[in-house]
Each structure stands twice: as C-alpha cells, then as structure tokens.
C-alpha cells in the first residue's frame, strides 16, 4: 500500500494500512474576523490494525483499539519556521530506533501495556514529529523492527 501527498511518500509493508491528511481549518466564529490563519500541515498515520476514521492526530481513538501485537506510527509536520529550532534540531527521520527508548510513560495517553516513542527532527528543511506506539511493551524488540521497516519506506521531499 502506498500513501502519497504533501511531499511525503510511504510504501507501506504488507500488513500496514495508512492515511495522509491535514486538519480541517477551524471556521471563524460568527462575526469574528480571523486574524491569523492556522497552518494545516500533513499528518501521516500508519498502523498494523484497522485505523478508525475518528482519531486524533496523535492517535487517540486508534491506540485504544490496539492489540498487543499492533503498532501505530504518526508522522506529523510542523510549520517550516520550526525547522532547525532546538526542538527540531535533530536531522533526518530516525530510521533506526533504540527499543530502550520506548517507554510506557512516553505516551499521549498512557494505556497499560503500551509503549511509546517520540522524536522531533528536521528533514529536507521541514520540521516533523515521529510518534510511535507499540501495543505491547514486552514485545518491543520485534515491534520496533517492524516499525523500522515501515520507516524505511518513507520519503520526505523538500518543499518547493
């Protein structure tokens, strides 16, 4: 399965499904002029399980449905002005992950048994966050390898 758009391409390994989307801009309140438009940068979601339609950008709604062997990956882009700032100073999408950096507390929502990993980086002049949730912390060695296979398929193109 291939997902492609917004200068991001991923050829997902067998067993994965994914989607690329941007957040819908919030309409201004009645009678209220918008003074500053929100930036709706793309979000790539990929999982080894069926992704529910109604899910948060960091996977809420999806991670609750994960089973022990499931994996969820979110790749979220930020505004170009954030590229190379201290938070995003790491260069390049991390394609080799250290299982020891996965933790049961590194989660947006802590769900018993799960383990998470988060990394901010800049690639091709674009700022991103990689967020990974493993269904079972105990099985992280195997699951991390699966995530690395998936990450290897991701191509981030420079913005034109």
Partner 1 sequence: MSTATNPQPTAPTETDAPMSVRLVDRLGRALAGSGLTRRRFLSRVAVVGAAVVVDPIRYAIKPGSAYAQVCGDGASCTSGWTAFCCTVNAGANTCPPGSYVAGWWRIDDSPFCFGAARYVIDCNRSPNATCSCRCADGACDKRRVCCNNFRYGQCNTQIRGVTEVVCRVVTCTAPWVWDRACSTTVRVDNRTRSHNASCLPGRDATRIDIKYQDMGMRGSILGAPVGSERASGPGRYRRYENGTIYYRSSTGALAVHGSIDQHYRERMDGINGALGYPTSEPQGTGVSGGLQVRYDRGTIYRASSSVTPVAVTGAVDTEYRSRGGPSGSLGYPTSRTARSDGSQLVRFTGGALVQVAGGPVAAVTLTFLEAGSRYPTSDPDHVGWPIADVITVGGQQVQRFERGIVTRTAGGTAFGIGSDLADPYLELGGAAGTGGAPLRRATFVAGGRARVLHLERGMLVAGRTGTRLLTGEVLDAYEAEGGPDGRLGLPTSSSVTVRGGQQRASFERGAIVIGTDGGVQVLTTRSGATPDDLATSTPTGGARRRGRTPGDVAR
Interatomic CA distance for residues 149 and 103, integer angstroms: 20
Q: Give phi and psi for 129, each to the nearest 5.
A: -125, 130
**Residues within window 5-64 making contact with partner 1, judged by CB under 8 A:** 23-26, 29, 35-41, 43, 54-58, 60-61
Nearest to 135 by CA among 46, 68, 72, 74: 68
Binding mask 131-160 for partner 1 (x = CB under 8 A): ------------------------------
Binding mask 72-101 for partner 1 (x = CB under 8 A): ----x-xx-xx--xxxxx------------
116 binds partner 1 (CB under 8 A): yes
- 131 SS3 class: strand
| Residue span binding partner 1 (CB under 8 A) among the ranges 2-10, 113-121, 139-147, 149-157 | 113-121
Strand partners, 118: 131
Interatomic CA distance for residues 53 and 36, integer angstroms: 28
Cβ 42 to partner 1 shortest distance, Å? 11
Distance of CA 72 to the CA centre of its chain: 8
Which of 99, 103, 139, 149: binder of partner 1 (CB under 8 A)? 103
Interatomic CA distance for residues 158 and 160, integer angstroms: 6
Q: Which residues of the shown chain bind partner 1 in the complex (CB under 8 A)? A: 23-26, 29, 35-41, 43, 54-58, 60-61, 76, 78-79, 81-82, 85-89, 103-112, 116, 118, 120, 129
């Amino acid at each position: 399965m291939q997902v492609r758009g917004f200068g991001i391409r991923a050829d997902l390994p067998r067993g994965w499904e994914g989607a690329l989307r941007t957040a819908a801009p919030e309409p201004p309140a009645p009678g209220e002029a918008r003074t500053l438009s929100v930036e709706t940068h793309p979000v790539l979601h990929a999982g080894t399980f069926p992704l529910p339609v109604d899910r948060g950008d960091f996977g809420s709604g999806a991670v609750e449905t994960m089973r022990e062997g499931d994996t969820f990956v979110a790749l979220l882009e930020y505004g170009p002005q954030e590229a190379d700032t201290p938070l995003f100073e790491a260069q390049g999408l991390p394609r080799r992950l250290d299982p020891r950096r996965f933790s049961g507390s590194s989660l947006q929502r802590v769900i018993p048994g799960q383990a998470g990993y988060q990394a901010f980086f800049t690639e091709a002049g674009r700022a991103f966050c990689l967020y990974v949730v493993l269904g079972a912390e105990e099985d992280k060695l195997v699951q991390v390898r699966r995530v690395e296979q998936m990450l290897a398929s991701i191509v981030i193109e420079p913005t034109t």
